[in-house]
Amino acid sequence: MKPSELVGPAVVHSGGIVRYANDEFCVLVGAEAPVAVIGESLAAFISESYQQQLSEQFDQITGENASVRGVALELEHKSGTTRDAVAVSSGVEWEGESCVYTSFIDLLEPEEHRIVPLREVATHQSPIGVTIADASREDEPLIYVNDTFSELTGYPREEILGQNCRFLQGQATRAEPVAELRAAIEDERPTTVELRNYRKDGSMFWNRVTISPVEDEAGAVSHFLGFQRDITDAKIHERQKVLFESHLDMTEQVVFITDTSGVIEYVNPAFERVTGYSAGEAVGKTPQILNSGKQDETFYEELWETITAGETWEAELTNRTKDGELYEARQKIVPITDDRGEISHYLAIEPDITDAQLTQQVVDVLNRILRHNVRTSVNVIDGYAEVLETGPDDAQREAALEKIREHTDTLMQISEQTTAIRDLLSGQEDPSPLTFRQLRSLVERYRETYDSAHIDLRMHGSPDRTIRNGNVFQIAFEEVIENAVEHSDRETPQVEITVTVPEESASAVVEIADDGPGIPESEWEIIRSGVETPLSHTKSLGLWLVYWSLTVLGGAVDLSTNEPRGSVLVLEVPLTGESE
């Protein structure tokens, strides 16, 4: 607060000692100049019988329930005379310290004889209407209103004084807050209510009314001090906000709103459902809780530069849920500006596109497989069937049968893989959980199936952590091991499985290394890009099946080279929060 903001007789004090006084206060108490008041006890200017009451008021202002307070008292003039007044006090920041600001309203002098006319008196919050009602008279008539109250209501002062404040009520004024206000007056206690009031021109406005009883030296309530603030804009904003958030609550898209620092203030139910974070867990945090690590710092720097410049930002990114699952999203962030054109919030809309992308990939890849691989196998089988019909010799017959069996196996494998893919997309996979301890028995089964291979399993961390959809993981796990063994060019294929299960992490890492010819980088680039073309495609569904299984799980898969030979597929698998 600044000295220029003190209107009417006023002082700023701390611990009862005056820190600042204006000229109007000096005139009121007969002091020669502010310097003669500063450093003095405020009690020196108050009649002794009111000092304790005023001190208690100051204690209330500086306590936990701080608010504006008023008290009727007598001011002592230097000449020995006294003057009845109402002291209105509130807490303020003065020169970096918490102090009390008290202004004085002279009640007894006629308007034309007052040292400072009432129309010039204001509290430290000038936009607030101020009224004083006489509690000793029937129906508590208004004996004082400031200019702001007249401006707020549209009534001139002469039409207001002598009336009860209820003259502002009208058809849409609700009975409940009126009853609360009346009960507070009867109980002689402070209260705040929000009323629909009406101006002189008939227009309705929302009025936040606060009343505070003012006591005389005997402790009886002599006046009611009232404060009125027009909150119509705030009410409209609140209603619009409720309607806006109600709409967002119903949308299936993930939506969240942050302040200008990026701190989340609102999330809709779709956000809670997709990310796993409740509103209570997300509000107060930043979107960093969704960071998957799949985007670099430059990505987020460009995002921030765009939205702080007031422009809409849109991109595809990979986020991570509370349970550690990854999901693809197309995120749009829109700056929200206030009536001054300044950015006040950021609105983020994030439709989950994982399902749509995955479905499109499956359709494209299966279309290519059916057009190319299946057609090729069928043509080969048909050709060798014709060879058998011509009565070949034993060697030709055996070769034809071998080729037919080979392509029949290919078609059977495609059939099994497409069935697995269908189950993935339709959600028909077994949702039963799988612990890493159970993984040992799976590996043992693979050892029996592929008895020519050496399959080794190493496990680090907690074997009792759980994968939510066990069968989905098994699809990928078995496909990788089968590929490593059956496509190996070694007499005894080597497969090394390393499982790392951190105690607190939301995901585990499963590395499967082989010593075969290795997965061609060109094929892996197709998987990484997510797109096949007639000239650029994988040889089979195997890698796609692994990728799609991990995608459905909300995990990820990556490829690296095994030294000195072979490939390493790294499966990142989300875990549930509990162990079994």
**pLDDT tens per residue, range 45-89:** 998 888 887 787 777 665 444 455 667 778 888 888 888 777 777
What pLDDT does residue 113 have? 36
Backbone angles phi and psi of 478, in degrees to 5: -70, -35
Return d(Cα 348, Cα 357) in angstroms, integer.
21
What pTM value is reported for the model?
0.38
Read off the amino acid at residue 263: V
Mention every residue, 6+ apart, whose C-beta is less than 8 A from residue 83: 28, 74, 75, 77, 106, 108, 109
pLDDT in tens, 219-269: 788 888 888 888 877 665 565 555 455 545 556 678 888 988 999 988 888
Average pLDDT over residues 96-106: 81
Orientation angle between helical segments 521-529 and 542-553, nearest 10 degrees: 40
What pLDDT does residue 119 have? 37
Residue 458 contacts residue 498 (beta carbons within 8 Å): yes
Read off the amino acid at residue 564: P
Return d(Cα 562, Cα 566) in angstroms, integer.
5
Q: Are strands 494-501 and 454-461 parallel, antiparallel or unpaired?
A: parallel
Orientation angle between helical segments 542-553 and 470-486, nearest 10 degrees: 160
Residue whose entry in the numeric block shows the structure tokens 């759980």: 466
The residue count for the chain: 580
Residue 465 contacts residue 436 (beta carbons within 8 Å): yes
What pLDDT does residue 476 have? 81
CATH number assigned to the domain covering 238-350: 3.30.450.20
> In what helix (H) or strand (E) does residue 179 lie, and over which residues does it extend?
helix 175-187
The fold for domain 429-580 equals Heat Shock Protein 90 (3.30.565)
Percent of the chain past pLDDT 90, that is, above it, reads: 12
Q: Please state the domain extents for the chain.
A: 1-112, 127-230, 238-350, 353-424, 429-580
Residue 408 contacts residue 363 (beta carbons within 8 Å): no
Residue whose entry in the numeric block shows the structure tokens 């310290």: 97
Distance of CA 68 to the CA centre of its chain: 34
Read off the amino acid at residue 163: Q
> Which of the four pLDDT bands, split at 50, 70 and 90, describes residue 212?
confident
The fold for domain 127-230 equals Beta-Lactamase (3.30.450)
pLDDT in tens, 513-530: 999 888 888 777 777 665
What pLDDT does residue 387 have? 65
Greatest mean pLDDT among 206-210, 389-393, 428-432: 206-210
pLDDT in tens, 296-354: 989 999 999 999 888 888 888 888 899 888 888 888 888 877 656 678 888 888 765 45
Q: In the numeric block, which tokens belong to residue 6? A: 């003190």
Look up residue 373 and give its DSSP letter.
I
Return d(Cα 161, Cα 235) in angstroms, integer.
29
Q: In the numeric block, which tokens belong to residue 179? A: 């009853």
Greatest mean pLDDT among 83-97, 150-164, 423-437: 150-164
Query: Between these two residues, 77 and 113, which has the higher pLDDT value?
Result: 77
Orientation angle between helical segments 375-389 and 394-426, nearest 10 degrees: 150
Mention every residue, 6+ apart, whose C-beta is less than 8 A from residue 280: none
> Which of the four pLDDT bands, split at 50, 70 and 90, describes residue 122?
very low
pLDDT in tens, 416-455: 555 555 555 555 444 577 888 888 888 898 898 888 899 9
By 3-state DSSP, what share of the chain in percent is helix, strand and coil, each rounded to 5?
40, 30, 30
What pLDDT does residue 429 have? 46
Return d(Cα 292, Cα 317) in angstroms, integer.
9
Return d(Cα 144, Cα 117) in angstroms, integer.
11
What pLDDT does residue 573 have? 83
Do domains 1-112 and 127-230 share one topology? The answer is yes
1-112: CATH, from 3.30.450.20, 3.20.20.70, 3.40.50.720, 3.50.50.60: 3.30.450.20
Return d(Cα 129, Cα 121) in angstroms, integer.
11
What pLDDT does residue 277 have? 92
Residue 419 contacts residue 428 (beta carbons within 8 Å): no
Average pLDDT over residues 564-580: 77
Return d(Cα 32, Cα 26) in angstroms, integer.
7
pLDDT in tens, 454-507: 999 988 887 788 887 777 788 788 888 888 888 888 889 999 999 888 766 677
Closest alpha carbon to 148 in 164, 166, 126, 132: 126
Look up residue 374 and give its DSSP letter.
I
Residue 555 contacts residue 507 (beta carbons within 8 Å): yes
